[in-house]
Chains A and B, each alone.
Chain A
Amino acid sequence: MELTTIWFCLIAVLWIGYFVLEGFDFGVGMLLPVLARDDRERRVMINTIGPVWDGNEVWLLTAGGATFAAFPEWYATLFSGFYLPLFLILIALIVRGVAFEYRHQRPSATWAGWWDRAVIFGSYVPAFLWGVAFANIVRGVPIDADFEFTGTVFTLLNPYGILGGLVTLSLFVTHGALFIALKTDGEIRGRARALALRVGVVAAVLAVVFLVWTQVLTGNLGTAVLFVVAALALVGGLAAAYVGREGFAFAGTFLAIGLAVAGLFVGLFPDVMPSTTDVANSLTTTNASATPYTLKLMTIVAAVFTPIVVGYQAWTYWIFRKRISIHHIPAAH
């Protein structure tokens, strides 16, 4: 396989890792005002992702860094072209991250309330905007001969892009609800499961429409297989949730998100950012890539360290495998 193809796959893997992992912690954040009845339950929810959300977010940083190194032109066009959405995502991730750490630092309800708002805002905004961004990458955006994005923020808010945003939003809510069902005990566990089923049906309908649309836009046999398996995984996950098998249910949304994102990347290949202005202006794995020397070096580093990272992150999830309930929450400071 060519090095550029390997790196296209590796970047796909990093984004898949980011969405399946931070997807559920965005979901937990968005559900904070819905699932929890009081402060103690809100703290139960936040503590299910407490030890892991930061590690999940590093998948984004690694995806960004890897794109910079392996496909500098892609990184430059994408990040400067999607300036405003990325600015909003940054603001959201800033207030959200600080909120987890600061929320419990003062006993006041007003204080906690403000940080709750930050968590909710900070989870909704990226959950929606990442979907918009990815849908637009797949669909193509206006790019001129200098590889500069020539659209505006409204170019991105087309129906397909907005649908993509709603799909990631609803999938992450479902994923997060199932994570809460899997990781908590007590009343909140049942509520989370019931909500996952209700939102899951909406997410499934939106996702199927979006994936069919994508298949028409850019599909091939590979995307068709991935999208069908993703849809089956989602339905299977919801069925498992219905019969009370929370582990299988979470695995279902985990697989569904991962496979759907994989399908988007398969549909994108060999482009990395197609141009709607002129096909000749499209960024591809070839014209956007770094040199073979850099790619080879990075391949060695990635081959050695990615398994190690996956290993110790998995170990962390094992260490914190126990369910959390309101009995486990100590008094506030």
Chain B
Amino acid sequence: MTDVDSVLELARWQFGIVTVYHFLFVPLTVGLTMLVAVLETIWLRTKNPEWLRLTKFFAKLFLINFALGVVTGIVQEFQFGMTWSDYSRFVGDVFGAPLAIEALLAFFLESTFLGLWIFGWDKLPRALHNACMWIVHLGTLASSWFILAANSWMQHPVGYKFNEVTGRAELTDFWAVMFNKVQLGTFPHVILAAYLTSAAFMLGILGWLYLRRPGKDNADRPMHRRGMVLAAWIMVFSGVGVAVSGDIQGKIMTEVQPMKMAAAEALWETSDSCAPFSILTIGTRDGKHEKWALEVPCVLSFLGTGTFDGKVEGIYDLQEKYREKYGSTPGATYYSPGDYTPNIPVTYWTFRWMMGLGVVGSLVGLAVLWLTRRGRTPTGLVGRFLPALAISAPVMVLLGNSMGWIFTEMGRQPWVVFGVLTTANGVSPGVEPWEVWMSLIGFTLLYAVLAVVEVGLLIKYVKKGPDPFVEPPDPSLRGSDSDADEPMNFAY
């Protein structure tokens, strides 16, 4: 193995690990800023202290999570230049712009207004305080828009031209990049999945608090229940939205990256009509061995094309097509020459786990709504298992998110920018393997420790439940210096 080979392997593992880890916190941040803003708005409207208690409770859990999202995000921006410098040189003119705009428009907004919200309870009038969290949420949406536009460009490069002299991609139409059709499918899918994730988080925690000791009297149970039902409704709506947007996305993907759809299904031979959707396979999916598979007829045709008798191209045919179009040695340093096929077991299984975990996770929301309909409280065996089921919902949805990203990124291989630049040609040529070993091990160990610490804190606060109600100070009702020596309402 040459140095470049091992740097490539290590850099890919590092990118995968730090990115999947970062994206555990991102959907919770996008979704929880929305939920906390909603809870605070409901409190301001109803004046019911329960909603303020829930606001503060979920804000606390959100901040524990947000801290890790912020600090792991810095790694994301730096590592393009650190381990993928040739990629950065190649795409900087196109890809750098949304990244810089994201920092300027979104990161400043999020960090500044979140600081105001956290420390501003006794400094800002209530409506303005609530507006700060809405602005933070807006910041997360803007951030998602720009970073997903950048990723969508890697999936389906548009609005650029290749400069033969410099050997770089050059931006020619910014709006084409912003409204790339892949982006239009991806953005709603990711944002709705973020809402689903955070609602599952809320449902899981409140469901567990609500039902953990069914026999005992607990004055807070009506509050837990109310919050849980709200979360369940958000889960059901966003879950449906995730499925619909995912379906639209699948059709766009079939059009712009047919190989990814074939890889998702491990569909080796082209199917002229009524391609079956495989649910499970026993044996291998490499197209060479006998296997047993559970399939639903024609569903793949529908997922890919919108009709049950649509034609879905198989891997063998696509491989030939790509070879003709792109030449016979793409990224020869990593893939065997001429191999345009992604890692099929990975794409096949992550695609399934993404959908399965997302659907089952969302169904927990539906189950909670059904079991608590018209004032019912689940008892007996159902009541005993519901807390565990509730708490498993956010875990399932979070894993579903990760699976989706692993699928969409691995399914694009061997390309880093589809049809234009292979991953092997994007890696930093000047970085030594031992340097990447060091950072790979360093980040992984640190991230593992921080995960343990974070989960420990979440468990501590979840067990405690929402703090008792304390009327927060309202600065609009008094002079600014009347409380000169009062303790701060919130302090680190």
Q: Report which A residues bind B (CB closer than 8 A).
A: 43, 46-47, 50-52, 54-55, 57-58, 60-62, 64-66, 68-73, 75-81, 83-84, 86-87, 90-91, 93-95, 97-98, 100-106, 146-150, 290-291, 293-294, 297-298, 301-302, 305-306, 309, 312-313, 316, 319-320, 324, 327-330
Contact = CB atoms under 8 A, between A and B. Distances in A.
A85 to B, nearest CB: 11
B174 A75 contact: no
9 closest pairs, A vs B, by CB?
Answer: A72-B92, A79-B81, A69-B96, A65-B100, A101-B67, A80-B85, A68-B96, A51-B115, A76-B85
Contacts of B468: none
B460 A106 contact: yes
B430 A149 contact: yes
Interface in B426-450: 428-431, 435, 438-439, 442-443, 446, 450
Contacts of A312: 108, 112-113
B244 interface: no
Given A87-B442, A324-B488, A329-B488, 4 more contacts: A46-B492, A79-B85, A90-B74, A316-B112
Given A55-B108, A328-B488, A330-B491, A50 B115 contact: yes
Contacts of A104: 491-492
A319 B92 contact: no
B111 A328 contact: no
A130 B270 CA distance: 56
Contacts of B460: 105-106
Contact of A302 (B66, B104, B457): B104
Contacts of A330: 487-489, 491
Nearest to B461: A105
23 contacts: A47-B488, A51-B115, A51-B119, A57-B74, A62-B108, A64-B103, A65-B96, A68-B95, A72-B91, A72-B168, A75-B88, A75-B92, A80-B85, A97-B70, A97-B71, A100-B67, A101-B66, A294-B94, A297-B174, A309-B112, A313-B112, A324-B488, A330-B488
B151 to A, nearest CB: 15
B40 interface: no
Contacts of B171: 290-291, 293-294, 297
Given A51-B118, A103-B492, A298 B100 contact: yes
Contact of A54 (B78, B85, B114): B114
Contacts of A68: 77, 80-81, 88, 92, 95-96, 99-100
A83 B93 contact: no
B74 A319 contact: no
A324 B490 CA distance: 13
A47 B74 contact: no
Contact of B107 (A61, A81, A93, A320): A61
A51 B450 CA distance: 22
B64 A101 contact: yes
Contact of A90 (B75, B95, B102): B75
A249 to B, nearest CB: 24
A290 B96 contact: yes
Given A76-B86, A78-B81, A320-B123, A294 B487 contact: no
B341 to A, nearest CB: 30
B81 A66 contact: no
Given A51-B119, A105-B457, A324-B488, A98 B100 contact: no
B64 A102 contact: yes
B97 interface: yes
Contacts of B491: 43, 47, 50, 104, 328-330
Nearest to A98: B67
Interface of B: 63-64, 66-68, 70-75, 77-78, 80-83, 85-86, 88-89, 91-97, 99-105, 107-108, 111-116, 118-120, 123-124, 168, 170-172, 174, 428-431, 435, 438-439, 442-443, 446, 450, 453, 457, 460, 485-489, 491-492
Given A51-B116, A313-B112, A43 B492 contact: yes
B453 A319 contact: no
Contacts of A91: 442-443, 446
A216 B213 CA distance: 75
Contact of A62 (B73, B100, B450): B100
B214 to A, nearest CB: 29
A79 B431 CA distance: 10
Contacts of B119: 50-51, 320
A84 B453 contact: no
Given A294-B93, A301-B104, A102 B453 contact: yes
Nearest to A84: B435
A75 B81 CA distance: 6
A86 B82 contact: yes
A133 B77 CA distance: 18
Contacts of B97: 69, 290, 294, 297-298
A329 B487 contact: yes
A146 B113 CA distance: 43
Contacts of A52: 115
Contacts of A43: 491-492
B446 to A, nearest CB: 6
B96 A62 contact: no
A78 B88 CA distance: 11
B407 to A, nearest CB: 27
Contacts of A50: 115, 118-119, 491-492
Contacts of B81: 64, 68, 75-76, 78-80
Contacts of B430: 80-81, 148-150
A291 B71 contact: no
A55 to B, nearest CB: 4
Given A301-B101, A328-B485, A69 B67 contact: no
Given A58-B111, A69-B99, A319-B120, A290 B492 contact: no
A328 B486 CA distance: 6
Contact of B124 (A83, A293, A319, A328): A319
Given A51-B115, A72-B92, A148 B429 contact: yes
B67 A305 contact: no
A327 B108 contact: no
Given A72-B93, A90-B74, A328-B491, A62 B103 contact: yes
A149 to B, nearest CB: 6
A297 B68 CA distance: 32
Contacts of B68: 98
